[in-house]
Amino acid sequence: MMNANAVFSVLKATPFPMLVISADYPHFTIAAVNTAFLKNSNSHESEIIGKSIFSAFSPVLKDKNQENADLRKSLEKVLSSKLPDKILVNKNLGCLANNYKDGKRYYECESTPVLSENGGIEYIIHTSIDVTEKENAVGN
């Protein structure tokens, strides 16, 4: 079995934007973030590590209450089922759209539990894949 440092090294090199979230309901604290996420969000680790995912990104959400509710529901579902959960398309306005003049970006987000040897959830891996081009092509 890989140790936590090895897992975080692999995470940092992964090309998809990812967060490692603690299973500390109701806060869901960000424990780690990879380089792809930092680059896409124009963030620094020191700005988000140790913060709740909801407080770290609430200033950039277009509809903060709805986006937080969707994300919270997804993370709670992962905790209760111990299975991955996908939020099909998120409309987001803000930091992840820094390079786009209209600011509208679409994301498919998935939260996947990382189980310990005894079957409990140690962390949740949260990925967000930009599907803006696909969504614009189908006329959303």
pLDDT digits (tens, 9 = 90+) for 21-35: 999 999 999 999 998
| Structure-token match 């959960």, residue found | 85
> 30 forms bridges with which residues in the sheet?
21
> 90 forms bridges with which residues in the sheet?
107
What percent of the chain stands above pLDDT 90? 33
Kindly report whether the global pTM for this prediction surpasses the value 0.85.
Answer: no
Fold of 17-137: Beta-Lactamase (3.30.450)
Q: How far apart are CA 30 and CA 101, in angstroms?
A: 29
Average pLDDT over residues 28-56: 88
Q: Which of 9, 18, 38, 29 is nearest to 125 (CA)?
A: 18
Q: What DSSP state is assigned to residue 11? A: H
Are 87 and 73 in contact, with CB atoms under 8 Å apart?
no
Question: Which H helix or E strand runs over 126?
Answer: strand 121-130
Are 91 and 102 in contact, with CB atoms under 8 Å apart?
no
- Per-residue pLDDT of 75-127, as tens digits, reads 999 999 999 999 876 555 333 333 444 556 777 889 999 998 899 999 999 99
Q: Which of 78, 73, 86 is nearest to 121 (CA)?
A: 78
CA dist 133 to 8, 14, 21, 78, Å? Answer: 30, 21, 28, 28
State yes or no: pLDDT of 73 exceeds 70. Answer: yes
